[in-house]
Each structure stands twice: as structure tokens, then as C-alpha cells.
Amino acid sequence: MRWSYDRPVRQSAQEKAKIFRDDGSAFQRWGNLERAEQCYLKALDCEGASKDHQTLYKMAELFLEKKNPRRALEYYILAIYANPDEPLHKQRFLDICGGMRFAHHDTNVEDILLRCLKTPDLDCSNAAPMWLDILLGNPAFAALYVNTKLFEKSFDSVALLQPLFVEGLKKITVHDLAFEDFARRLRQWLLMGLPGTHGLMPADYMRLVEAVASYCYHSGYIIRVTAAEKAKLREISSRLTDRFFAAAFACYDLQGVPSVFEPGSVLATLQTAVHWDGRWRTAPAHTLKAELFFSTRQYKLERTFAGLKPELLVAGCGTGRDAVIAAVRYARGKITVLDTCREDIAYTKAKAREHDVQNIDFKTEGFPILDKRPKAYDIIYVMNALNHQQDPVKLLQSFWHNLKPAGLMKIGLASRIGLQSTWAVHQAIQKFNINDNRESVLNFRDRAWDFLPEEMLQQFTSRSAYYNFSTYRDMFFRPVLNQFTLLQIEKILADLRLRFEGFDLPAGVLRQYAEKFPGDPEMVSLENWHAFEQENPETFAGNYQFWCRKF
């Protein structure tokens, strides 16, 4: 076969670059990464191809596959600079590089992150570690962050107004107690200074307080409130027609604030947004439809249905995220959502309208309806429906009967190893007979450190569930009844003639597994994963999410 670099044809630089790029893609699919890199470099060398964002993006993916995330980061940045209007590159940058740590300030990384934060509909949830590292690289901000007394006296507030910080508060939740304490002190400072604005220009004060209110809103208002703050809130409650007072009050309770904000502002948008406590914020359509974006195991398994009309079942829709993602990705397919919780159905319908999705059929019947349509579905998602069933294995068998031959199933089951500490906390809650209402839950969260072992609680502070009221309550006050080990799951899948196809896990975890078990390149040995989880009990954060195929 004669490849593009041997072809004596008269073509434009862009056409030549495309040929090299296509050849590189072929080599990459075949696992010849060195030849793929050579082709991509030739594409980038073509005259006029300096803005070839597609090849730059492929180079980033190549270095990611070569387990060189830092080089991948460089090429993601170049791809974004080459085409600033392509949201796909930004989303990939956030998903892959967001969890990286930065000991030294990097101007390019800061610039790209700010561009991402300002881009509508990007999911920036993974960017918290990178965002915080960059902020702390600013000495003025670092001084505010570490000095617990600084908000009690006059200080330079310029660091609080930097766009990176303000925009990040609107889109990012930091899973760190030190940052939560910083956010608490900042919120208190903004409130207690009223009716003044601490010397800030009114527009600057409003910009900052709206960002803080957004952060607190998305946390479900889980941050502790002092007695002094409660007294101040009572004092200003009669002045909420003033937007400055209303914005400060919204840092504690947006629902209690009248609609006094400018249309299109952060708080005006939140007041009309479809967002329930603990629910997802966004599922950008441009990332769901893009073929290049998904290098996860999910995409590799599901891409066989691309362009077809698959039938999917989402059993127990929960927040509706899986259903809406599937509906956008398979616009020609049919998605059936099955759930007995009318609140979850209502939220999923609202999100479907938000994303202009019309190929979802909602059903509120119980799971016995499955028996009516044997071998009906190409893909079945059953993420949380099994956790509280009396006989989860029997229910899983009924799903198997409704799956077409070679069909895919994505299953969510609770991890017994991952939930050991969670169960211990729940037993303490039962012992002290603590109610699960808002006040009781928040009091427990503050005081648990006084009577439970610190090492037990510390392991939860890196979980996202710890920083949202709804998910925190679910984690400790509403425990999962059915818990499994991976060895038990291995036997269940074998009995049901389901072949394990792998987990969707962060790239860092997969690299760690690959280093420990190089003899399992496909990462499908549940025995190995069991040993890995025993050494790293936080791997699955208490919940397995995996793919399997009917055979």
C-alpha cells in the first residue's frame, strides 16, 4: 500500500494535511502509535496548516494513549488556540486535564481555563483541582485563602475580582474543606458589610456576590451558617426589593428572594433554571454528538450503533442524565424511560425540553412491564434501580430477557468494600436517632467530627457527595441495602451469560490499574479489580458502574 507521503499528486496544503491526518488515524486505530505520530507531524508541517486544529487534537489524543498527559495537555491547548470556537476541544481539555495538579503558574493553562469557563454549556466540574492550583499561584489570592483573619480587616480585594475566580465560582464545586471554609468566610464578609459594599464599586460587588450565590446554590446551601449571619439575614429580610440585599440573601436561600435581578444575570437565570438540589447542571449537545470526543469505554462500546436506530431502555431514570445523553447521541433511536418516581420523571422531562429532545417515551409503570417485550432493546441502562430491590439478581435476569442478543447493559451496583465506612457512619446516626431533615443533617455534618474518628470522616471529604446537601444526606442517612463485591458480581454475570466489558473510570485510575496489572490490557479481569479495590477502597466511591454484553 502506498501512503500519502508517497503520492505525487497536486493538492492544496489543507488537502495534503487531511491525507496525512487520515493515514495517522488509521495507524492509531491499528496500534502503531509511532507511525501515527509521524503522519500527524507531516500534516502539521504542510504549508498553511498551522491552524489545523483537527490534527493538533489528534496529537493530543495520541499522547494520551501513549500515557503522556503533559504532552497531551500541550496539544489540547494548541488545538483550542487554533480554533477558539470549537467547544469540543475545550470539553476534552477539561475532562482530561482538569484533574492535573500544577505546582507552577502556567499562563497558557490559565488563559485556556478561563476561556472554558466563559464558554456556555461546558461541563467544568472536573476542573476544580487545576482551577484552585492556578488561583493559589497568585500570591494575593493565596494570602486571602490561608489567612483566616484577613476578612476581618481592610485588604486588597482585587484578587477576588479576577475573572478566573469569579467565573469559576459559577461552574465549579471544589471538593475540599479548606476551600469550603474560605467560601464561608467570603460569603459572611459580603453579607455583614451591608448596606455598604466594602469599598467595592457597586458593579464589582454585584458580580462577586452573584458568583458566590451561584456557588452556594449549587451546593444545596450545605455551608455552615453562623448565629451572626442568621441575625443579619433576619435584619435584611424586609429589604429584598433592593438587588444588593437580595443578592446577598441569595447566598443563603435563593427561593426566598423575589425576582429583582436583571434579566440574563446569573441569579435571574438560576431563578428560572431547571435545577433541583443535587441534580446535574448540563449535558452539552456538542459533546454528546461528536464522534471524536468519546474515547471512553462507553463510546467504544456504543459506537457500533452510530447512525442506526437503536432502542434503549433507561430503568430508574434518577436525574435523567443518562436518558437525555442517550436521546441526544442517538437522535434516530427510541429511548424508553421507566421510573415510578414522578418527581424524577418530571425533572427528566424538563431536562429533555431544555435540550430539545423528543425521542424519549416516559413510562411510570413498575419493572414488571419488562416481561411484555422480550429481546426488545439494544442497550439497557440500569444504574440505581437494583440498589433497593428485594431480589436484585432476579430483576437483573428480567432485564437480560429484554436485551437483544449481543446487546449492551450498563449496570450500577453498590460496593460493599467502598461502603464499609459509610455504613459505620449510618449506624452512628441510627444510634443517636438523628432525623434526616435539613437542620438535623447540617448539624450532624458540623458536629460529626466531635464524636466520630477523624480518619473515618476524612476519607469522605474528597467525594463530591460530601459537598452537596442532597447527596450528603443520601450518602449517610439513606444507605443502600444491596451491596456486592466484585467477585460476587463476576459470578452473577457468569450465571446470567453476561460478559463483563469494563468500567468507566478516570484516566488516572485506569493508568494505575494498567501499571499494576500489565497482563490485563483490556482491564476486564474482575478478580484483578477486586484486588485493586481492596488496596484502594475509594476507587469506586461506593458505587460500581460497568458495562456488560449479552452472549
pLDDT tens profile 335-391: 999 888 787 888 888 888 878 888 999 988 766 555 556 778 999 999 877 887 888
pLDDT at 318 over 80: no
| pLDDT tens for each residue of 154-197 | 777 889 999 999 999 999 999 999 999 999 999 999 999 888 87
How confident is the model at residue 509, as a pLDDT? 86
Residues 75-96 have a mean pLDDT of 91
* pLDDT at residue 297 in the model: 65
Percent of the chain with pLDDT over 70: 91
CATH, domain 285-414+483-505+544-550, list 3.40.1380.10, 2.70.70.10, 3.30.300.10, 3.40.50.150: 3.40.50.150
Longest dimension (CA), the chain: 81
Q: Please check the confidence at residue 275 and state whether its pLDDT lies above 70.
A: no
Mean pLDDT of 429-436: 90
DSSP H or E stretch at residue 42: helix 33-45
- For the segment 488-498, the average pLDDT, to the nearest whole number, is 96
- Residue-level pLDDT at 295: 45
CB 423 within 8 A of CB 454: no
Q: CATH 3.40.50.150 in the chain: give the residue spans.
A: 285-414+483-505+544-550
Q: Is 548 helix (H, G, I), strand (E, B) or coil?
A: strand
Contacts of 155 (CB under 8 A, 6+ apart): 144
Per-residue cell: 372? 411484555
Give residue 285's pLDDT: 52
- pLDDT of amino acid 320: 82
Least confident among 238-242, 407-411, 460-464: 460-464
Strand-pairing partners, residue 499, are 549
Q: Dihedral sign, CA of 201, 207, 210, 211?
A: negative
Please, which pLDDT band fits residue 279 given cuts at 50, 70 and 90? Answer: low
List beta partners, residue 543.
414
Strand bridging mode 543-550 / 498-503: antiparallel
| Mean pLDDT of the residues in the chain | 86
The pTM is what?
0.81
Which residues make up the CATH 1.25.40.10 domain(s) of the chain?
Answer: 4-130
Q: What is the mean pLDDT of residues 131-146?
A: 92
Tell me the C-alpha distance between 182 and 189, whole Å: 11
Q: How many CA atoms does the CB half-sphere of 133 hold within 13 Å?
A: 18
Question: To which H or E segment does residue 483 belong?
Answer: strand 483-484
- DSSP letters for 304-365: GGTTS--EEEEES-TTSHHHHHHHHHTTTSEEEEE-S-HHHHHHHHHHHHHTT---EEEE--
Q: Which CATH number fits domain 4-130: 3.40.50.10470, 3.90.245.10, 1.25.40.10, 3.40.47.10?
A: 1.25.40.10
Rounded CA separation 151/135 (Å): 18
Q: What is the mean pLDDT of residues 91-98?
A: 84
298 pLDDT more than 70: no
Beta carbons within 10 angstroms of residue 47's beta carbon:
10
* Residue 151 DSSP SS3: helix
The per-residue pLDDT for 46 is 87
Residue 2's pLDDT band (cuts 50, 70, 90): very low
Angstrom distance (rounded) from CA 211 to CA 233: 19
At 28-43, the pLDDT tens digits run 988 899 999 999 999 9
pLDDT at residue number 26: 93
